[in-house]
Each structure stands twice: as C-alpha cells, then as structure tokens.
Amino acid sequence: MYQVITTEADTPEAQALSSHKFAPCQIVATPGALAAMEEHQCPPLSLLARHLSGDWGCVPAEDAQANNLALNAGGRVLSSYLIGTETRLWVITEWDRSVTTFLLPSEY
C-alpha cells in the first residue's frame, strides 16, 4: 500500500521543486518510508527536491551515470539517501515518469 504525497505551493521545498530536471508525476511512499522519514525528522519534499535536481545522494558512480543518461533517454532514475545513522531511503522515478516512489531498500 502506498500513500500519495502532496505539496503546498508556499513552502521552501515546493519552491525548490520548481528548478527540477524532470517531472515526478504522481508521488507516493511506502508505509516503511513514511515511518522512517518521520522517525528521522526528514521532510519528504526536501529529498524530492534533491532527487529532481539531479542530486542522487549515495549511489555508485555507474548508477549516477545511468541516472544522468536517463534524464535524456527516459530511463528509470534512482536516488539513495542516508536519513539516519543506518537508515537508507530510496527515491525511484519510473522510466515513463508516471510515478516517483519513496521506499526503503528492504521494500523493493
């Protein structure tokens, strides 16, 4: 089950989203990702702004290169962020840009 994440236009995070490299379309999150972000006081929109701006977080060089190529070729885009000492969160935008999902790696 996924929960849809919405933005409010007057927040700093929403303003940061206006300078994106691609559109996220529908934004959803798994219950585990939502709980982890709440536990670590990590606003989802701050991670989304990073993801959409091309800051892929902690991904291997080959994944960063694949993400950069996907911006033009339409492939899947994956970011990985450390939001706690040992908590990693993924943000994945599908190849067709239909949905962007926040999830824990264990939920993949």
Q: Where are the domains of the chain?
A: 26-95
pLDDT of residue 9: 56
pLDDT of residue 28: 95
The pLDDT tens digits for 43-98 are 998 999 999 999 999 999 999 999 999 998 989 999 999 998 999 999 999 999 99
Beta strand spans in 20-87 (E) = 26-29, 77-82
Q: Is 65 helix (H, G, I), strand (E, B) or coil?
A: helix
pTM: 0.83
Phi and psi at residue 75, to the nearest 5°: -85, 175
Alpha carbon distance 85, 67 (integer Å):
25
